[in-house]
Amino acid sequence: MTETPNLNYIKEIAGGNEEFEQKFLSIILVEFPKEKMEYANFLADKDYLEAAKVVHKIKHKLGILSLTNAYKLAVRYEEELKYGNTQLQTAFDAVLGTVEEFIKDIHQ
Amino acid sequence: MKSIIVDDENTARAIVKELCNSSGHIEVVGQFPNAVEALKYLNQNEVDLIFLDIHMPMLTGFDFIATLKNPPFIVLTTSDTNFAVEAYQYPFIVDYLVKPVTMERFQTTLMKLKHAGKAILVGNGETTLESEPPKESFGDDHLYINIDRRLIKLKYEDILFIEAKGDYFEIKTLDGQYRVHSTLKKIKEKLPESVFLQIHRSYIINFSKIIDIQDNSVLIERSVIPISRSNRPRLMRRLNLL
């Protein structure tokens, strides 16, 4: 079953604190596109170790957006990238696409 | 309780900070994206608690811990569960939080911090009873013990008994036990005679906690405590015996 991102976790932590919720969302909105681009650039340069570091950052955002399976995938992918293994790239890129769509929706 | 957050992830820092703010007990006085910046801060400032990520650039969380001369309480925040066993080898590591940290799980961390004195017992944390504490440290119904720079309040009514063990003693309470590096004689001087009674050279008991007395021992909670021959008459005189 495909997971869909949501803001349940952020809302739980915020506990009605809208200022925190907005601040937190703005962090994700700013950082995610930047990290996605960095990740793509490092992969294109075959700099897998640096790509793994970016996946490490992205994976936290997946957990925060309640993407439990995607988070687990990112944990594995980060480790495999450190050894230059890109087998999980397609699956991970699909997750990035899902998050990107979700972020666009929030923007609108 | 003053704390800092050391985590390379902006979002992770924001979440822990919000959880601390909501707790009402933990003040976040600094946030650092790496251990080096945190060390610079700690060279100039003291904190009671560090929320520490394990996987960070430059220095890892464990490398960072190794550089601390007098570590405060530490709560590890990580996405990696593989270091849990290693983490608990350090007496000052109070908890191990796996990201993303939930509100419910953070409540457990607060409880663990509250009882951090017990956690320290597992390791080599330096614990002391103030030999000359300020007068306000002792009240009518409680005393404070100093455990790793934290003064922990113990109500007399919560103390079951105190057992001498070499160069330290243990205070057993309903919730657990606290190891204090001092002598039984010193704490005896601080305790009210109306509540406590020494029944053996190694034991002081809370008189009201006795469940029964059989032969040469008393039962308190689930502990059988010996009564020495010399102290037995004093104990018997205190009993409201039919």
Encode pLDDT of A9-31 as tens digits: 998 888 888 888 888 889 899 99
If interface means Cβ-Cβ distance under 8 Å, which residues of chain A face chain B?
Answer: 9, 12-15, 17, 20, 23-24, 27-28, 31, 53, 56-57, 59-61, 63-64, 71, 75
Partners of residue A76 in chain B, C-beta under 8 Å: none
Q: How far apart are CA A4 and CA B23, in angstroms?
A: 30
Using alpha carbons, select from B72, B53, B62 the residue that is nearest to residue B1. B72
Contact B107, B75 (CB under 8 A): no
Q: How far apart are CA B183 and CA B164, in angstroms?
A: 7
Q: How far apart are CA A39 and CA B206, in angstroms?
A: 64
B184-216 per-position pLDDT tens digit: 888 888 888 888 889 999 999 998 889 898 888
State residue B140's pLDDT score: 66
* Cβ distance of A61 and B19 shorter than 8 Å: no
The pLDDT of residue B95 is above 50: yes
ipTM above 0.85 for this complex? no
Q: Specify the pTM.
A: 0.61
* Cβ distance of A60 and B12 shorter than 8 Å: yes
Partners of residue B100 in chain A, C-beta under 8 Å: 9, 60, 63-64
Which pair of tokens denotes residue A2? 């495909």
Instruction: For residue B226, say if its preceding peptide bond is cis, omega within 30 degrees of 0.
Output: no
State residue B57's pLDDT score: 73
B151-177 per-position pLDDT tens digit: 888 888 889 999 998 888 899 988 888
Per DSSP (E only), the strands in B108-200 are: 127-128, 142-147, 150-155, 159-165, 168-173, 177-180, 196-200
Nearest to B15 among A13, A59, A75 (CB): A13
Query: B interface mutation test: which of A64, A65, A73 has the most B CBs within 10 A?
Result: A64
Q: Rounded mean pLDDT of B33-58?
A: 88
The pLDDT of residue A80 is above 90: yes
The pLDDT of residue B127 is above 70: no
Partners of residue A12 in chain B, C-beta under 8 Å: 102-103
Nearest to B103 among A13, A28, A57 (CB): A13
Q: How far apart are CA B220 and CA B227, in angstroms?
A: 12
Q: CA angle B188-B189-B192, nearest 5°? A: 80
Q: From residue B124, how far is each of B49, B52, B120, B187, B190 by CA, in Å?
A: 18, 20, 7, 21, 25
Of residues A56 and B70, the one with the higher pLDDT is: A56
Q: How far apart are CA B71 and CA B38, in angstroms?
A: 13
Partners of residue A9 in chain B, C-beta under 8 Å: 100, 102
Partners of residue A28 in chain B, C-beta under 8 Å: 11
- Chain B nearest-CA distance from A44, in A, is 22
Of residues B220 and B69, the one with the higher pLDDT is: B220
Q: How far apart are CA A54 and CA A48, in angstroms?
A: 10
State residue B124's pLDDT score: 34
Using alpha carbons, select from B187, B175, B168 the residue that is nearest to residue B126. B168
- Percent of chain B exceeding pLDDT 90 equals 23
* Predicted confidence band of residue B242 (pLDDT cuts 50, 70, 90): low
Using alpha carbons, select from A84, A92, A56 the residue that is nearest to residue B60. A56
Contact B93, B78 (CB under 8 A): no
B128-151 per-position pLDDT tens digit: 333 233 333 334 678 888 777 778
Q: Rounded mean pLDDT of A57-61?
A: 91
* Cβ distance of B100 and A63 shorter than 8 Å: yes
* Cβ distance of A60 and B14 shorter than 8 Å: no
Mean of the per-residue pLDDT values for chain A?
Answer: 91
Q: Domains in chain B, ordered, with CATH?
A: 2-114 (3.40.50.2300), 127-238 (2.40.50.1020)
Beta-sheet pairing, B217-220 with B223-226 = antiparallel
Nearest to A15 among B14, B22, B55 (CB): B22
* Residue of chain B with shortest Cα separation from A61: B11
